Amino acid sequence: MNEKKPSLLLVDGMALLFRAYFATAMSGQFMINSKGMPTNGVYGFVKHFLTAVSSFNPTHVAVCWDMGSKTFRTEMFDAYKANRPEAPIELVPQFDLVKEVVEAFDVPNIGLEGYEADDCIGTIARKASEEAEVLILTGDQDILQLLDDNISVILLQKGYGNYLVHTTETFYEEKGITPKQMIDLKAFMGDTSDNYPGVKGIGEKTALKLLQQFEHIEGVLENLEQLTKGQRAKIEQDLEMLHLSRQLAEIKCDVPVECPLDLAQFTMNREKVIEKFTEIEFRGLHRFLDFKKEYA
């Protein structure tokens, strides 16, 4: 990484919070404080957050959030993410609490109703990559479509401090397509997690072959006669869903949000953070604050 250039860490807040919550909730460890507030998700979020900041040493940091379940995608397709259960009751009060903790770090919380955190991340990443190296921290592989010369993706792995870092080069080595082609890949194969079908009967292996051969959906449609009879029939039958799935899969990078770099500079006030930890009754997190002695 070019040390002269600033580096912006964009955090997918929901990905970290949900991962942290379920890692402990399965065994009933909700960490309820004296005010009756469950804090397990926020506690784990802070550990993930500080471990990443320590590992990648960004000069700037911002956290992006989903702002409710209704987005422009649910308006386009009613069933979008309709398979997902309601948030657990012990997690609901932690949505606001985690943002308070992020504020205590003087880190911007960013989100916009009608859009997903991914759309905010995509918009800010594209803009910021003109002047900074951008690192996106998430557990969601959908965000790999944003990979660019100045945008890398840090995928959370099991535990704390375990990451798979993707660049355009590593993505191509793994998939044999470019990051942008991932949108069309998902359009063909669908996404069970987000609950849209793509083209029934076309899986990842076939979709990758089609994109490697014909580049994009338009290229495939222009060369249907070269496909097997089965592939052609499946695509023709689900043509409308193919185009809709592509719209659902694409991260919007023109959302009306902004994050000027000077507002995201990471200059942690240790005392302010410790005061928040004390208020919430967090114990054992102070040691994670010692990676930047100059902030103490």
Count Cβ atoms below 10 Å from residue 236 Cβ, excluding itself.
13
Sorted by sequence, the CB contacts under 8 Å of residue 19 that are 6+ apart come out as: 44, 48, 139, 156
Judge whether 143 and 121 are in contact, CB under 8 Å.
yes
Predicted pLDDT of residue 26: 82
Residue 292 scores a pLDDT above 80 = no
Largest separation between any pair of C-alpha atoms in the chain: 68
Predicted pLDDT of residue 291: 66
pLDDT in tens, 11-70: 999 999 999 999 988 888 889 999 999 999 999 999 999 999 999 999 999 999 999 889
Residue 111 scores a pLDDT above 90 = yes
Mean pLDDT on 134-152: 97
* pTM for the full predicted model: 0.94
Predicted pLDDT of residue 2: 44
Q: What is the spatial distance between Cα 283 and Cα 296, in angstroms, rounded to a whole number?
A: 18
Give residue 4's pLDDT band: very low, low, confident or very high (50, 70, 90): confident
The DSSP element (H or E) to which 134 belongs, if any, is strand 133-138
Q: Of 248, 16, 259, 254, whose CA–CA distance to 134 is shortest? A: 259
Residue 294 scores a pLDDT above 90 = no
Residue 201 scores a pLDDT above 70 = yes
Residue 3 scores a pLDDT above 80 = no
Kindly list the distances between the CA atom of residue 47 and the CA atoms of 5, 21, 294, in Å, as whole numbers in the listed order: 27, 12, 20
Predicted pLDDT of residue 173: 96
Mean pLDDT on 173-190: 97
pLDDT in tens, 207-255: 999 999 999 999 999 999 999 999 999 999 999 999 999 999 999 999 9
Q: What is the spatial distance between Cα 221 and Cα 236, in angstroms, rounded to a whole number?
A: 9
